[in-house]
Structure 1
Amino acid sequence: MLDKFREAKQLEIDSLRKDFMEGRVPAAYQGERPSFVEAIRAKGPGAVIAEFKPASPSKGILRENLNPLDYADMYADNGAAAISVLTEHKYFKGTPDFLFMMNQPGIPLLRKDFIFDPLQVAMTASSPASAVLLIARMCDNATHLSQLIEIARMPGLAPVVEIFDQADLDMAREAGADIIQVNNRNLDTLEISLDQARNFIAQKREDELWICASGISERKQVTEMAQLGYDAVLIGTCLMETDDPAAKLAELTGAK
């Protein structure tokens, strides 16, 4: 699955490289970039990162005619610690423009995309994002991942490294990651099991921030992950599919 995502990003990377060779390097964002880690710590354990994604590869279009600005306000008003913003276009119908459209409430934005080239990180730094998702297994090795982590940290982006198995976690740590996102989806079968999160949390270290992603749709699951030691949970699909995302998020965060 990740191979098709890598292929989908190649045109974007080729364009970024052409711009770079011609001297068009995106300048770092000069506005406020609120701390992703501090926002999670303030509402954790079990802080909710609410995700905005118009579509998904497994379910297609999740909702039609979405207004990113409305969702940003709604998420901020109902207890979200941060917002995960899908910027991949082909499979998720996202765009990097969402990062500029959704920063008004002032809570941290996590850019979620398939990022494996340094220029993609530089482009992220030119936006109001506070964090960037790096999927460990999309990198060639720990050195490659470490390079992306260091480039992200220079302008103040928090690098969130996503893992699916033990080899991913080992690579993340070798690369110097300190924010680990455990994805509960099996990439081969696309099945989701919270047992993935339950099993991995035993390896959490004191100086690390851990996020549980995929499969959370009920308050009791948020509470369980918090009790296990997850600093945050990332919730997307159930918020995008419900008719009342504000009420659903308030339920998940315990805001109401």
Structure 2
Amino acid sequence: MLEKFRAAKAAEIRRLVGLEAEQRLPAPYTGKRPSFSDALIAKAPMAVIAEYKRASPSMGDINLGLSPADVATLYAASGAAAISVLTEETYFKGSLDYLETISGCGLPLLRKDFLLHPLQVIETAATRASALLLIVRMLTDSELGDMLRLTYDAGLEAVVEVFDAVDLERAEAAGAHIIQVNNRDLDTLKTDFAVARTLAPKKRPGRLWIAASGIKTRSDVLAMAELGFDAVLVGTSIMSEPDPGAALAALAGHTEKAAS
């Protein structure tokens, strides 16, 4: 599955290499970025990162009638600590432009994509994103270290995604501060909280941990908090609902919105 995503990014990387050769890479964003980690800490241990997600390989199209601005407004009013924005175009129908639109809600944004090349970090730094996703399994140790350093130098935070203990060891060795544990099996696409339960005891002091995939109910959120996770990332289970705001409020325990 990850190799399919890698292939889908080849054209984007070629475009960025061409822009670099022409000295036309986008300039870094110079405005203030809200802190992604501070937003999670403020709502830990049950912070919810709500995802704007228009499609996925397993689900197909998801609520395409809702615009990025609509969803951002709903999420901001419904207890989200931050918003994950899928920008991958081929399989998730995302766009880098969504970061600009969604930033109007004031919450910190995570660019969720398959980032494999330093120029993708530079392009992200030209947006209003506060953080970006790096997937350990898609990078060598050297590449991961380089991508993290470039991310930090650009004033961005990195959410480093792991699937097992080997990934976690590599992420820690590279200098990751925010760890995202993905409960999804990449071969079957099924989710299993055993991944979170197995890795949770390995959490080091001073690290922020996010649980992702398979989280559908308030009890799931509470279970992840009990394991020591600081936040959960939730996409399909809220985006596929007729009212993603109400679904998010129920997950986040945001009683005002849920009652309304």
- Taking the aligned partners of 1:95 and 1:170, their CA distance within structure 2 comes to 32
Per-residue deviation, 1:32: 2.0
Amino acid at match of 2:22: E
Please name the residue that 1:98 is paired with: 98
Residues 139-178 of structure 1 correspond to what in structure 2 (within 5 A)? 139=139, 141-178=140-177
Moved more, 110-119 or 147-156: 147-156
Please name the residue that 1:27 is paired with: 27
Amino acid at match of 2:174: A
Residues 48-197 of structure 1 correspond to what in structure 2 (within 5 A)? 48-139=48-139, 141-197=140-196
- Taking the aligned partners of 2:121 and 2:136, their CA distance within structure 1 comes to 14
- Taking the aligned partners of 2:5 and 2:131, their CA distance within structure 1 comes to 20
Per-residue deviation, 1:31: 1.8
Per-residue deviation, 1:66: 2.2
TM-score of the pair, normalised by structure 2: 0.97
Q: For the aligned residues, what is the CA RMSD?
A: 0.8
Please name the residue that 1:13 is paired with: 13
Amino acid at match of 1:163: V
- SS at 2:104 equivalent: coil
Per-residue deviation, 1:22: 1.0
Moved more, 189-198 or 87-96: 189-198
Per-residue deviation, 1:245: 1.1
Q: Which portions of structure 1, spanning 4 or more consecutive aligned residues, are displaced by more than 6 angstroms?
A: none
- Taking the aligned partners of 2:145 and 2:186, their CA distance within structure 1 comes to 23
- SS at 1:127 equivalent: coil
Q: How many residues align?
A: 255
Per-residue deviation, 1:13: 0.3
Per-residue deviation, 1:155: 2.1
Gap runs ≥5 in structure 2: 256-260
- SS at 2:229 equivalent: coil
TM-score of the pair, normalised by structure 1: 0.98
- Taking the aligned partners of 1:133 and 1:64, their CA distance within structure 2 comes to 23
Gap runs ≥5 in structure 1: none
Please name the residue that 2:239 is paired with: 240
Please name the residue that 1:210 is paired with: 209
**Deviation string for 1:151-172 (max 9, x for gaps)?**
1111211111000112211111
